[in-house]
Amino acid sequence: MTRRRFVLARGRFWTGLLPWAWMLLFFALPFALIVKVSLSTPELAIPPYVPPFVMEPGELLPHFRPDFTSYRRLHDEVLALGTPAADLQYLSAWGGSLLLAALTTLLCLLIGYPFAYHIARSREAARNTLLMLVMLPFWTSFLLRVYAWMVLLDSSELGLINRLLLAAGLVDAPLQLLYNQGAVLVGMVYSYLPFMVLPLYANLVKLDQRLLEAAADLGARPWTTFLRVTLPLSRRGIVAGAMLVFIPAVGEFVIPDLLGGGDVLMIGRRIWEDFGPNQDWPMAAAVAVTMVLVLLAPIVLLHRHGRANGDDGEAGP
Amino acid sequence: MSVRSRPGATAWLLAVYAFLYVPILCLIVFSFTAGEITTQLDGFSLRWYAELARDEELIGAVLLSLRVGALAATAAVVVGTAAAFVLARFGRYPGSAAFAGMTTAPMVMPEVVIGLSLVLLFTHPLFASLGGRGVAAIWAAHTTLCTAYVTVLVQSRLREMDRSLEEAALDLGCPPFKVFFVITVPVIAPALLAGWLLAFTLSMDDFVLAAMLSDPGSTTLPVLVFARLHHGLKPEINALATVIVVLVSLAVVVANRAMLSAQRKRAAALRHAAGISPTAAPTVTLSSPDMRR
Amino acid sequence: MDHNGDGAAGGRANRRAYLRIEGVTKRFDDTLAVDDVSLEIAEREIFALLGSSGCGKSTLLRMLAGLEMPDAGRIVLDGEDLAAVPAHRRPTNMMFQSYALFPHMTVEANVAFGLWQLRPRLARAEVEARVAEMLELVQMQRYARRKPHELSGGQQQRVALARSLAKEPKLLLLDEPLAALDKKIRQRTQLELVNLIERVGVTCILVTHDQEEAMTMAGRIGVMNEGRLLQVGTPGEIYETPDCRFTAEFIGETNLFQGRVVGGALACAEFPAAIVLPPDAGLAQGDEAWVSVRPERVALSRAGGVPGGAGCNAATGEVAEIAYLGSHSVYHVRLANGRIVIASVPSVHWGDAAPPTWGDAVRVAWFAPDGVVLTR
């Protein structure tokens, strides 16, 4: 039943003004600036770019003279794909990021799904505590949790894991555990696991126990019940968790910076370096624009898909 | 909800909790070393805690982070509540979809992109003259990011809320503007508090935005810690981590206790009400055959 | 005919109109929620709007409270046109279906809430006295310091009632007042509620989908369907002389026969003989009409008994279903053409004889004046 209700009709404008103004000023306008800067020419100045608008003397409106150099560099790398010895800084960073984010998402799902499932199926009194224990690391400092892995994975004979391995006689010399892709992956899974577990838990705990009983009553074996009932019904939780992990993971740059050493290339780090040491803001902006396009496309598609399938939830009452 | 003993399930839970907590426990253990090495217990001492207490740069960063966190969380609750109201109550109007997109986008955008966009804003000649990068810029950036989370939390609470509460207040003669403050805000207060705490934590924990928008005078705790991690590891960081973990755990445990006891009190009162209510009592005595026996 | 009607309530309806609803219409997007409803209600009357969910009764009530604004029409209460008055300035108070007790306030504070909104402000002592009076009225003094969630459903309902009476509204609106209660408590509460409202002497409109509730509580009932007000009358009038098919079928059960008038009787394909109409039916040859016969007006006897005289409609069939309900039994009798006729027979009717059972051949009959002729 849809009913329009006459409540708080007055003051609507003033209620909307603050959030609208804030979002336009601190979200929409900055984003427009990214697009503008990505079409600018880098220059040694403050700020380090020349805007694509040129004032001609005697005219009222500026001319739009976009500089596509930054985009062209990305485009050229795509064209050079497959050419041996091509310098693919950005493309390889993209590839590295997507691969690492995908692996992180997959591992978080494989570890997090059974984890969330068992929490959701545990006694009601225990659930609260178990969930709180998942949240607790999330509330403590993210950087310090990454630091903990720096200590654990230290590649000298002083690293904790290396000391254990040496003491157990499993290895003769300390292993190179830190500053490689593996270390980054461990750090990412460690940091993002709660983001996967929480939506999965929220979904699984709502699963009607009677459905599982009905399936069992109809003769389904536990595994069949899981594959045919539980898993399809938790699809929304899986999608939500995967998005919460994958998207920030693609842009992540602190973890690769601290655990990855110099040769782990990721696109977030590329932006950071172009922005910081390289002082090439137009390039950083161009990469950011492509990043938004690449990341937002699946979200928009997924949303459309959800709508088309008549999924409930998003539309609200 | 029967629980059979499932050794596999228990083992999995234990293994994942170990994965989550062993690194943190290691940090805590080695914070008590007397030596210089972060992975070796050279005798027990509180040396690094003493150094922590003397580290003025670090204390300054902590205070700045607390200040920015509190201010950003407060602003995010104000902006986010208004945004949630617009989303939950205004229905469709021209631009409503764009607004919904704008308010939630910061949650699904990589922080580097948000950071870059805000740097461009604050270094733009117009803003640079107003102060440019610095504490205010970090505050605005954190508020924008946290607003997205607060909006989602408050919006879902608003949608759950029984609209007839507000209508009843109107019906009893309360003007619309006042209804918001005497009825709506108290009813959604738990969501506002949760939103504030989440926003505060996000702001305290944020490195990317703070690092991109900081100027020499505005080093927040994460920015300082990041810099220190690049200059070699010292047990002082362990001591800092221990302090944070202990404080957060205490806060969470206390909050959880308070929540549980409130729930229990509520349940007990309800049972009491059902037992002695004059409405229910005669019904029981008259209609249940057991009582006559 | 009018033996079920409440004489006192009928008398009230004759007083001058206290509330006048004139041609009120409300449209939501493409649907007409309330379609040109006009109604007059006397002072101190208890009036029920009865209909199934989505019939527009709640929307009409919300327009009286000012929570919705009518697209057309006028609402005049005690000489004052309410159309432009917003909810918080109307002299009406509503008890919500969910009770809408403010969860963060005590029982006392809930009841006092409306009083604190009055301008000029009341003195604290005045408010406290009024709250105490209200709580005493609903016997909730002992729970004044409780929060709503610490009360049972019945207690919450009484607090909600006290809250909506505290400001002495000119019009009390009850939205499904008892729907949230258990069936057992509900039946007793109906009478309690009526007594209380009559003691206070407030004019009251209640909305319900439960015909029993409407008939127990209200002096007059308005039956609504698809946004239109179909029939207004006392419970007895509505039950005994429905003026349309919807009312006849919605209130209680009935046997409805459709046909055309041929030579003073109704030619009906579903009944073996032409149905004899009541004497004052006022129909012309060839008119389409329906005859509604209540199950308790249908006489059931074993086939082969004494045939009825003139003015009696009768047919034979066999017993298809029996529902034994203690005081009476409901028989579903299948005629030769397959049509089911429902008859309600008091248990004492059979005396010492064995009542007919499944498959028995029986005869159903009713006197022509017991049928109600409907033309819409």
Partner C, chain A 146-165, Cβ-Cβ below 8 Å = none
Instruction: Inspect the interface and report whether the beta carbons of A118 and B9 lie closer than 8 Å.
Output: yes
- What is the model's pLDDT at position B129? 77
User: What percent of chain A is predicted at pLDDT more than 70?
Assistant: 91
> What's the gap in Å between the CA of A221 and the closest CA on chain B?
17
- pLDDT tens for each residue of B82-115: 999 999 888 888 888 889 888 888 887 888 899 9
Is the predicted pLDDT of residue B189 greater than 50, yes or no? yes
Tokens representing residue C4 in the block: 């079920």
pLDDT tens for residues B266-280?
777 666 655 544 343
Query: What pLDDT is stored for residue A236 in this prediction?
Result: 87
**DSSP letter for each residue of A4-50:** ---SS-TTHHHHHHHHHHHHIIIIIHHHHHHHHHHTSEE-SSSSSEE
What's the token pair of residue C299? 């006489």
Residue C206 belongs to a domain with what CATH number? 3.40.50.300
At a CB cut-off of 8 Å and minimum separation 6, what does C77 contact?
C18, C19, C20, C91, C92, C170, C171
CA-closest candidate to residue B87, choices B67, B102, B65, B74:
B102
Q: Return phi, psi of residue C325, to 5°.
A: -120, 25
pLDDT category of residue A2 using cuts at 50, 70 and 90: very low
Comparing CA positions, the residue from C179, C204, C167 lying closest to residue C64 is C204
Q: Which domain holds residue A251?
A: 92-207+239-308
Residue A64 belongs to some domain of the structure: no
Q: Do C276 and C312 meet the contact criterion of CB atoms below 8 Å apart?
A: yes
Whether residues C165 and C306 share a domain: the answer is no
The pLDDT, as a whole number, for residue C106 is 92
pLDDT of residue C308: 59
Write down which chains contact chain A via at least 3 CB pairs under 8 A: B, C
Q: CA-nearest residue of chain B to A4?
A: B91
C203 vs A56, more confident: C203
| A53 three-class SS | strand
- Examine the domain organization and report whether C333 and C190 are in the same domain: no
DSSP string, A58-104: T-SS-EE----HHHHHHHHHHHTTT-TT---HHHHHHHHHHHHHHHH
Q: Does residue A5 sit at the C interface (CB-CB below 8 Å)? A: yes
Is B277 at the interface with chain A, CB within 8 A? no
Q: Report the amino acid identity of residue C344.
A: S
Instruction: Examine the domain organization and report whether C260 and C135 are in the same domain.
Output: no
Residue C177, pLDDT above cutoff 70: yes
pLDDT band for position A307 (cuts 50, 70, 90): low
- Yes or no: say if C13 and C45 are a contact pair by the CB < 8 Å rule: yes
Any idea which of A33-37, B89-93, C231-235, C322-326 has the lowest mean pLDDT? B89-93
Amino acid at C182: D
Domain that holds residue C89: 7-249
A98 has a chain B CB within 8 A of its CB: no
Contacts of A47 in chain B (CB under 8 A): 120, 123-124, 128
What residues does C205 pair with on adjacent strands?
A: C47, C173
Q: What is the mean pLDDT of chain A?
A: 82
Is C324 part of a structural domain of the chain? yes
Which residue in chain A is spatially nearest to C33 when comparing CA positions?
A3
- The answer to whether residue B86 neighbours chain A at the CB level (below 8 Å) is yes
> A181 pLDDT exceeds 60?
yes
Q: What pLDDT was estimated at residue B10?
A: 87
pLDDT, residue C309, reads: 66
Measured distance CA(C294)–CA(C239) in Å, rounded: 9
C325: nearest Cα among C337, C310, C341, C342: C342
Q: Is the dihedral of CA B179, B184, B186, B187 positive or negative?
A: positive
> At residue B158, does pLDDT exceed 50?
yes
3-state secondary structure C279-330: CCCCCCCCCEEEEEECHHHCEEEECCCCCCCCCEEEEEEEEEEEEECCCEEE
Q: Provide the number of structural domains found in chain A.
A: 1
Q: Is C267 found in the same domain as C121?
A: no
Cross-strand bridge partners of residue C41: C19
Q: Do B277 and C184 touch (CB under 8 A)?
A: no
Taking residues C248-260, report their average pLDDT. 86
Contact assignment for C28 to A5 by CB distance below 8 Å: no
Q: Point out the least confidently predicted range of A92-96, B129-133, B160-164.
A: B129-133
Continuous segment of H or E residues that includes residue A292? helix A281-308
Domains contained in chain C, number: 2
Of B183, B270, B280, the CB nearest to C102: B183
**Residue A108 host element (H or E):** helix A89-120
Higher pLDDT, C11 or A53: A53
Structure tokens at A187: 């750090």
> Which residue carries 């922590």 as its tokens?
B52
Strand partners, C333: C319, C341
- Inter-chain touch C100–B168, beta carbons under 8 Å: yes
pLDDT-wise least confident of A208-222, A235-249, C305-319: C305-319
pLDDT at B270: 64
In sign, the C-alpha dihedral spanning C165, C167, C173, C177 is: negative
- Tell me: do C104 and C127 sit in the same domain: yes
**pLDDT one-digit tens code per residue, C62-98:** 999 988 888 888 898 988 888 878 888 899 999 999 8
Q: Concatenated DSSP letters for chain B?
A: ------HHHHHHHHHHHHHHHHHHHHHHHHTTBSSS-TT---SB--HHHHHHHH-HHHHHHHHHHHHHHHHHHHHHHHHHHHHHHHHHHS-S-TTHHHHHHHHHHHHHS-HHHHHHHHHHHHHSHHHHTTT-SSHHHHHHHHHHHHHHHHHHHHHHHHHHS-HHHHHHHHHTT--HHHHIIIIIHHHTHHHHHHHHHHHHHHHHH--HHHHHH--TT---HHHHHHHHHHT---HHHHHHHHHHHHHHHHHHHHHHHHHHHHHHHHHHHHHHHHHH-TTHHHHHHHH-GGGG-
From chain A, pick out residues whose CB is under 8 angstroms from the CB of C87.
6
Same domain, C192 and C339: no
**CATH number of C329's domain:** 2.40.50.140
pLDDT at residue C299 tops 60: yes
Listed range (A29-38, B153-162, B272-281, C143-152) with the worst mean pLDDT: B272-281
Contacts of C96 in chain A (CB under 8 A): none
Q: Measured between CA atoms, how close is B131 to chain C, in angstroms?
A: 44
Residue C1 in any domain: the answer is: no
Same domain, yes or no: C267 and C235:
no
What are the φ/ψ torsions at residue C225 (nearest 5 degrees)? Answer: -150, 135
> What's the one-letter identity of residue B90?
F
Q: Which residue in B262, B264, B275, B142 sits closest to B209, CA to CA?
A: B142
Average pLDDT over residues A244-251: 88
C276 with C356, same domain? yes
Q: Which residue has the tokens 């803001």?
A: A281
Question: For residues B274 and B280, is the Cβ–Cβ distance under 8 A?
Answer: yes
Superfamily of domain B60-236: MetI-like (1.10.3720.10)
The residue with greater pLDDT, B80 or B252, is: B80
Q: What average pLDDT score do residues C274-301 get?
A: 82
The sign of the torsion formed by the CA atoms of B131, B132, B133, B138 equals positive
**Least CB–CB distance from A6: residue in C29, C54, C67:** C67
Q: Give the separation between CA C63 and CA C35, rounded to whole angstroms.
A: 13
Q: What is the mean pLDDT of residues C178-194?
A: 84
Pair C374, C328: CB distance under 8 Å: no
Average confidence (pLDDT) over A110-137: 88
- Phi-psi region for residue C172, left (φ > 0), alpha (ψ -120 to 50) or beta? beta
The backbone torsions φ and ψ at residue C289, rounded to the nearest 5 degrees and listed phi first, read -155, 165
Strands (E), A62-208: 63-64
**Is the same domain home to C106 and C245?**
yes
B169: confidence class by pLDDT, cuts 50, 70, 90:
very high
Global confidence as pTM? 0.82
Distance between CA B5 and CA A121 in Å, rounded? Answer: 12
C309 and C223 both lie in a single domain: no
B26: its two tokens: 């290691």
Compute the average pLDDT of residues B243-271: 81
With CA atoms as reference, the chain B residue closest to C142 would be B277
Does residue B17 or residue C354 have the better pLDDT?
B17
Do residues A67 and A240 lie in contact, with contact meaning Cβ atoms separated by under 8 Å? no
Task: Give yes or no: residues C217 and C87 share one domain.
Answer: yes
Cα Rg for chain B, rounded, in angstroms? 26
Q: Verify whether the Cβ–Cβ distance B171 to C66 is below 8 Å.
A: yes
Tell me, yes or no, if B28 comes closer than 8 A to chain A by beta carbon: no
Cross-chain residue pair B111–A145, CB shorter than 8 Å: no
The predicted model gives A261-268 an average pLDDT of 78
Q: What is the mean pLDDT of residues A75-99?
A: 82
Confidence of residue C15 (pLDDT cuts 50, 70, 90): low
Helix (H) or strand (E) holding C113: helix C107-116
- With beta carbons under 8 A apart, name residues in chain B contacting A19: 79-80, 82-83, 86, 99, 103, 147, 151
Mean pLDDT of chain B: 84
Same domain, C22 and C134: yes
Place of tokens 């849809």: A2
pLDDT (0 to 100) of residue A8:
43
Question: Does the structure show a pLDDT above 80 at B73?
Answer: yes
Mean pLDDT calculated for residue range C191-197: 89
Average pLDDT value for residue range C166-170: 90
Chain B partners (3+ C-beta pairs within 8 A): A, C
Tell the burial category of A1 from Cβ atoms under 10 Å away from its Cβ (0-12, 13-18, 19+): exposed
The sign of the torsion formed by the CA atoms of B41, B46, B49, B55 equals negative
For chain B, first and last CA: distance in Å?
35
Nearest to B248 by CA among B185, B190, B291, B205: B205
Q: How confident is the model at residue C329 (pLDDT cuts 50, 70, 90)?
A: confident
User: Among C28, C68, C69, whose Cβ lies nearest the Cβ of A2?
Assistant: C28
Q: Has the ipTM of the complex gone over 0.95? A: no
Domain boundary residue, one of C249, C270, C298: C249
Alpha carbon of B102: minimum distance to chain A alpha carbons (Å): 7
A1 reaches C (C-beta below 8 A): yes
Pseudo-torsion of CA B112, B117, B122, B126, nearest 10°? 170
Q: Which strands sit side by side in the sheet containing C72-77, from one edge to the other? A: C31-42, C17-28, C72-77, C80-81
Give the chain B residue nearest C169 (alpha carbons): B172
Q: Where are the domains of chain B?
A: 19-54, 60-236
B186–C97: do the CB atoms touch at under 8 Å? no
Distance from CA of C132 to the nearest CA of A (A): 31
Across the interface, whether the CB atoms of B174 and C117 are under 8 A apart is answered yes
Q: Distance of alpha carbon B232 from its chain centroid, rounded?
A: 31
Facing B16 at nearest CB: one of A115, A147, A268: A115
Question: From CA B64, how far away is CA B221, in angstroms rounded?
Answer: 8
What pLDDT is recorded for position B14? 92
Length of chain A: 317
Q: Tell me, what's the pLDDT at A317?
A: 28
